[in-house]
Structure 1
Amino acid sequence: MSRAAKRKPVTIDEIESFLDLVARLMGKFPRQAELMTPIWRALERERDKRVETNTILAAAQARLARSPNHTMD
């Protein structure tokens, strides 16, 4: 098994921490801040995808819990 296969997915909190880091770098280096916008956008997209996935999984669990036939066959 490769190291990548063993690695846990990055969490939303970790992505938020990286956004904080990029924001600090943008503030510290304002002349280069525009160069960091692709990184910012990528982090936001990844965060938004993970939030959406978590929302969908929670909705599916809620639907399953209230379903009269909630056995997994």
Structure 2
Amino acid sequence: MAQSAVPSAAQPRESAAEPRPVPLRLPVREVLPWAVFAVVLGAVLIYFVGAEQGATSLFGGTWVHEFTHDGRHLLGFPCH
């Protein structure tokens, strides 16, 4: 008997030939501390690159400004 190229409802599909993807489970309790750490670190970096200068300066001198100078221009923060 010849087989058709299009499977019909009468012909069962072989489930062993096509593996189904298993969903990835991420436990929130394990990811949350790292997510909070990444957000805090990102906020500190944005502060030092974008605002550590002038009246809001935490450190005296211009060494932080000079250290982050190219990063300021790359991210579009004015510094001159």
Quickly name the TM-score band, shorter chain normalised.
Answer: 0.3 to 0.5
Higher relative contact order structure (alpha carbons within 8 Å, sequence separation ≥ 6): 1
Q: Taking structure 2 as the reference length, what is the TM-score of the superposition?
A: 0.34
